[in-house]
């Protein structure tokens, strides 16, 4: 357990890489982690942490995953809680290259996802229900293009998610990059359709 604590400190200090350290932790916790999973991104909210594993090979090679850890109330150790792995990512999507968490909401980027165009990218949102973290929605840019790498950076706070696409041909020209803001939309009587709506784009 000490290893994961070390990861948080290193992350805060900007020290890296910590790939090997996390792979060892994965063995300790028996979460099916292995060398090559590339646990290189971590975020925390309260007693819950999310760790990205862009090199995870389940269900597809380098499709990526993210691991949820919860701090135990007793000794305060971080215990593996759930693996998040989008079922529809394709090879080399690298989901988990970027992750973020805020309260009951979490998000992970899949920057090399080919959902709309090759390497246009996508992001997946999760909302804790009880003790589980079911996938809520797949976010894509309204004007996605090949090679945008939408999902390279992600942030979430309350009802707002922001996703970066550093290679989108934005206002400043080729590969100038753009940020997309999504706001949660909950119909008052039902929650069908998209939970998030893209509201604005910067750049």
List residues near Ca ion by CB under 5 A. Answer: 112, 114, 119, 147, 167, 169, 175
Compute the least distance from the CB of residue 133 to Ca ion, in Å.
Answer: 25
Compare residues 33 and 151 and give the one whose CB is closer to Ca ion.
151
Compute the least distance from the CB of residue 122 to Ca ion, in Å.
Answer: 10
> Where would I find the beta strands (DSSP E) of 54-176?
65-71, 78-84, 95-102, 105-110, 122-127, 135-139, 153-157, 160-165
What is the distance between the alpha carbons of residues 25 and 3, in angstroms, rounded to a whole number?
Answer: 6
Give the DSSP letter of residue 132: B
Compare residues 23 and 89 and give the one whose CB is closer to Ca ion.
89
What is the distance between the alpha carbons of residues 156 and 139, in angstroms, rounded to a whole number?
Answer: 13
Compare residues 4 and 98 and give the one whose CB is closer to Ca ion.
98
Compare residues 16 and 59 and give the one whose CB is closer to Ca ion.
59
89 three-state secondary structure: coil
Q: Which of 101, 116, 109 is nearest to 165 (CA)?
A: 109
Compute the least distance from the CB of residue 163 to Ca ion, in Å.
Answer: 16
Compute the least distance from the CB of residue 87 to Ca ion, in Å.
Answer: 16
Tell me the residue nearest to Ca ion as measured from the CB: 112
């Amino acid at each position: 357990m000490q290893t994961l604590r070390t990861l948080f400190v290193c992350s805060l200090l900007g020290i890296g890489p910590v790939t090997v350290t996390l792979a060892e932790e994965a063995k300790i916790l028996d979460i099916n982690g292995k060398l090559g999973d590339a646990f290189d991104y971590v975020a925390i909210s309260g007693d819950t942490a999310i760790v990205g594993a862009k090199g995870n090979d389940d269900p597809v090679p380098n499709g990526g995953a993210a691991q949820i850890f919860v701090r135990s109330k007793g000794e305060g150790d971080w215990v593996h809680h759930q693996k998040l792995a989008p079922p529809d990512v394709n090879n080399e999507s690298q989901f988990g290259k970027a992750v973020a968490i805020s309260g009951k909401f979490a998000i992970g980027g899949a920057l090399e996802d080919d959902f709309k165009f090759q390497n246009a990218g996508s992001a997946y949102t999760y909302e804790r229900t009880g003790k589980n973290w079911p996938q809520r929605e797949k976010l894509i840019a309204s004007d996605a293009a090949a090679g945008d790498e939408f999902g390279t950076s992600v942030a979430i706070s309350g009802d707002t998610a922001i996703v970066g696409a550093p290679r989108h041909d934005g206002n400043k020209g080729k590969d100038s990059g753009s940020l997309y803001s999504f706001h949660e939309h909950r119909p008052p009587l039902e929650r069908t359709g998209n939970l998030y709506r893209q509201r604005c784009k910067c750049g």
